[in-house]
Amino acid sequence: MIDAHVHVWRLGRNGCTWPTADLTAIHRDFGLTDVAATLSGTGVGRVVLVQSQESEDDTAWLLAEAAASPLAAGVVGWIESNAIDPAARLARLQRQGPLVGLRVMAQDRPAAWLADPALHGQLRALADLGLTLDLLVRPQHLPGCADLADAFPGLAIIIDHCAKPLIARGGFAAWREAMAPVAERQNLMCKLSGLITEATPGVAMKTLTPYVEVSLDMFGPERLVWGSDWPVINLNGRYRAWLDLARAVIPTRHHAAVFSGNARAFYRLAS
């Protein structure tokens, strides 16, 4: 199995300014040794490292870590949204390690931000280089996600954390309605990750079942990718509990795709 969404960081280094001290459960260094310990006995054998900092220093460090470890299948990095000559920056990063794509962090930005032309230079470069785009968004950004999919039909795009539905506020119906037109875009995929941190603190993992079911129904087993969002998941849950819940809800016949094959195909991971 492949975990398509794992973070590592070193506090105060490599551009790391988050998590802040108030997030006590995750306010420490996390590295690939910690990842390996967490994966022990789960059946997960490789991970995709995803940037957690809006810093190219963070991306460079992740690439170096991944290049030195067979555990890391690839890196989803970050560059400035208005970066000059993004193609050259991406080519430089590719030489440093197994870059598979970039992540755009829109979650705390206005809904219209995804339409900013300054952002689109890097998206064109990603498509030209055969790299991918992760979108960290909230439900209000979903119309913009659909617009990006239409504007860049050759770009492989995945929505992280099912667009962070407002689970703790009873936002299921509104989230489902907003996701429906997005799921119609065939170049858009959905990453089944990061849900428990949007739920009420201490809630049972089974609370996520309808979100998993709807995501599978909308995107189908061929456009759904499982990830843990570790170690952020530790804020309100545990790795094994989330993996067990997802494997129980998703029919066994789809496990090979959702828990491995789709990530491998989307990120073009080497065997």
Task: Compute the Cα dihedral for 176, 179, 183, 187 and give only its sign.
Answer: negative
DSSP bridge partners of 9: 30
pLDDT for 270 equals 84
Residue 133 phi, psi (nearest 5): -125, 120
Q: Whole-angstrom Cα distance, residue 71 to residue 162?
A: 25
Residue 112: exposed, middle, or buried by beta-carbon count in 10 A (0-12, 13-18, 19+)? Answer: exposed
Tell me what pLDDT residue 140 has: 97
The answer to whether residues 5 and 48 touch, using CB atoms and an 8 Å cutoff, is: yes
What torsion do the CA atoms of 87, 15, 44, 263 make, to the nearest 10 degrees? Answer: -20
Please return the burial class of 20, using the count of CB atoms within 10 Å of its CB with bins 0-12, 13-18 and 19+: exposed
What was the pLDDT predicted at 2? 98
DSSP 181-230: HHHT-TTEEEEE-S-GGGSPTT--GGGGHHHHHHHHHHH-TTSEEE---B
**Residue partners of 251: CB distance under 8 A and separation at least 6:** none
CA pair distance 35, 268, nearest whole angstrom: 22
- Going residue by residue through the chain, which has 271 residues, state the pLDDT in tens, using 9 for 90 and above: 999 999 999 999 999 999 999 999 999 999 999 999 999 999 999 999 999 999 999 999 999 999 999 999 999 999 999 889 999 999 999 999 999 999 999 999 999 999 999 999 999 999 999 999 999 999 999 999 999 999 999 999 999 999 999 999 999 999 999 999 999 999 999 999 999 999 999 999 999 999 999 999 999 999 999 999 999 999 999 999 999 999 999 999 999 999 999 999 999 998 7
Instruction: Sketch out the chain's domains with CATH numbers.
Output: 2-266 (3.20.20.140)
Alpha-carbon distances, residue 212 vs 1, 215, 254 (angstroms): 18, 5, 13
pTM recorded for the entire structure: 0.97
Closest CA to 194 of 228, 168, 223: 228
Whole-angstrom Cα Rg for the chain: 17
